[in-house]
Structure 1
Amino acid sequence: MGSSQDSHANDPADALPSPPSLPTPATRAGRDGLAAILERPERAVIALDFDGTLAPIVPDPDQARAHPDAVPALAALAPKVASVVVVTGRPADVAVRHGGFAGVPGLDHLVVLGHYGAERWDAATGAVTAPAPHPGVAAVRAELPGLLDRIGARSGTRIEEKGRSVAVHTRRADDPQAAFDLLCEPLAGLAARHGLIVEPGRMVLELRPPGMDKGVALLDHVRGLGPGAVLYAGDDLGDLPAYAAVEKLRSDGLPGLLVCSGSTEVTELSKRADLVVNGPAGVVELLRALAERVRSVS
């Protein structure tokens, strides 16, 4: 007769360090959301931003990688819930590559919604599906270097090519906030001329097509599954529409938990969150605690 220890010998959670305790959300709505996830994990959707939430913010976005314990924590939790979905402004394939999500046992049904939901990557197939790019992105891409020269953009300002959008980063400038402020009005005008919008973030301004955001993407995904509860974790202004989506779902009777991957750069999310954790390391601890608690009650 096998022991309970034997039954978990190949469980991804067993390779992780001792799990932390599960934190208590500060709000009644958050506590209800957490309780619903724990009571019926097989009906729960776990949705997460990538940069600043699963991956630490770094000066060069091309060097961003998921926290080293993020994939093991997700692999331990994913088989026990209805869905794990990463919702990001990055191209889906870039998030998959930088996250190390492909081919991981336990993440067989992971979904990555890239470009704010315009792209979808499914672990089951390894394929990315997406509509045709917005023509305004190519026009902005062509004009942007000249515009930055004309306005005297600060040294260290850099353009990030994202395929379906273009971002301008100021984190490497000598005065990142002054460099950011200098760009706001000119980039808003450039985007408007080509039918795009500007999405501000942590020392970054992204010019992208309208009509799709993390809230729309999350609602479409959740409603397609018909789950019993949803958790969303994010860190930046682009995550506010996803917060609003969870709040809308809660008003419709679906329990939800809003988690903020805390930072000193953006405080808007922490003011609305049910639970604030200490950056990507805190998000990983939360995922590990959920995986352990779900295992112990299942």
Structure 2
Amino acid sequence: MRFTSPDAEQRYAALVAAARTTVVGLDFDGTLAPIVEDPDSAHIHPDAPDVLLALSDVVRAVAVVTGRPARKVLALGGLEEVGERIGEHGRELYVFGQYGFERWASSHRRVVSPRPPQGLSGFLRDLPGALREASAPDAYVEDKGLAIAVHTRRLDDPDDAFERLEPRLRALAEQHGMVLEPGRHVIEARSPGSDKGAVVRTLAEETDAGGFLFAGDDLGDVEAFEAVAELRESGLPTLLVCSASDEESALVERSDVVVHGPDGVLDLLRRLTDDARGR
């Protein structure tokens, strides 16, 4: 765990002081779950359920905010059970899937989801041609129901394939009225109108948050970081945490704290829990 500046250490101390009214937002892949080649095998870190339960005792709410479908994350994280345990402590666990288009809460226990975007079927129809043009026909395509994610991690040169695919998929997304969200060896096309920043603003307002921590690992979390920075400017205690890796460091310069992967994120949350209890 590394603070990026003396100001960052002061921000952490202010957040500890405001812990009881703080909302903690967490990305899933790369933050709570290790990055793996097969997205369907990205199970939550084994220590995370207990860490989240302990954390929920000292903060107002915990939220998992992800580009994944909510049901998939609930399954991979065992989060329904975690939410039940957190609910028994009188706290709330939220899961926002597909960049906020889907919502689940431990007090409601059902996923609220809109219909698939209008341009999705056209994008999916034209996608094989774009993959062939980019010499990446074997890229793994994940249909999320409300979005399409194209993964390059399994290809021989994932970085080069990503660079070839990104402009072609961006043009295709624009053609079908969708937006593109690049991540770590993944490019996602989804409907406009929601992002992780919107989720942060919604949570802060609905919970009357007196502080906000967000931890993420790649470009898909930039909007959340920007929204937390807005809350900071309005006077709220905040902390931005980068779950860095050897592959991705896009958020390092925006962060107050840099940790290494899910292990580092959980160590930070343990420290926050202990420091808040010790006040």
Same fold (TM over 0.5): yes
Q: How does 1:69-218 map to 2 (within 5 A)?
A: 69-104=47-82, 105-108=84-87, 109-153=92-136, 155=138, 157-218=139-200
* Correspondence for 2:46: 68
Rounded to whole Å, the distance in 2 between the matches of 1:73 and 1:127 is 24
**CA positional deviation for 1:39:** 1.6
Gaps of at least 5 residues in structure 1 are 1-22
Rounded to whole Å, the distance in 1 between the matches of 2:235 and 2:6 is 14
- For residues 7-53 of structure 1, give each alpha carbon's deviation from its aligned partner in whole angstroms, at most 9, with x where no partner exists: xxxxxxxxxxxxxxxx5733354334322332232101111100000
TM-score, normalization by structure 2: 0.93
Which protein has the larger Cα radius of gyration, Structure 1 or Structure 2?
A: 1
Query: In 2, are the aligned partners of 1:29 and 1:256 still within 8 Å (CA)?
Result: no
Rounded to whole Å, the distance in 2 between the matches of 1:32 and 1:223 is 24
Number of aligned residue pairs: give it.
274
TM-score, normalization by structure 1: 0.87
Rounded to whole Å, the distance in 1 between the matches of 2:276 and 2:234 is 25
* Correspondence for 2:274: 292
Cα RMSD for the two superposed structures: 1.6
SS of alignment partner, residue 188 of structure 1: helix
Rounded to whole Å, the distance in 1 between the matches of 2:134 and 2:13 is 52
Gaps of at least 5 residues in structure 2 are none
Query: In 1, are the aligned partners of 2:18 and 2:237 still within 8 Å (CA)?
Result: no
Instruction: Give the fraction of aligned pairs with identical amino acids, expressed as a percent.
Output: 45
Q: Which of 236, 243, 248 is the matching residue for 1:266?
A: 248
SS of alignment partner, residue 131 of structure 1: coil
Rounded to whole Å, the distance in 1 between the matches of 2:7 and 2:204 is 18
* Correspondence for 1:254: 236
**CA positional deviation for 1:266:** 2.2
**CA positional deviation for 1:101:** 1.0
* Correspondence for 1:34: 12
Query: In 1, are the aligned partners of 2:2 and 2:258 still within 8 Å (CA)?
Result: no
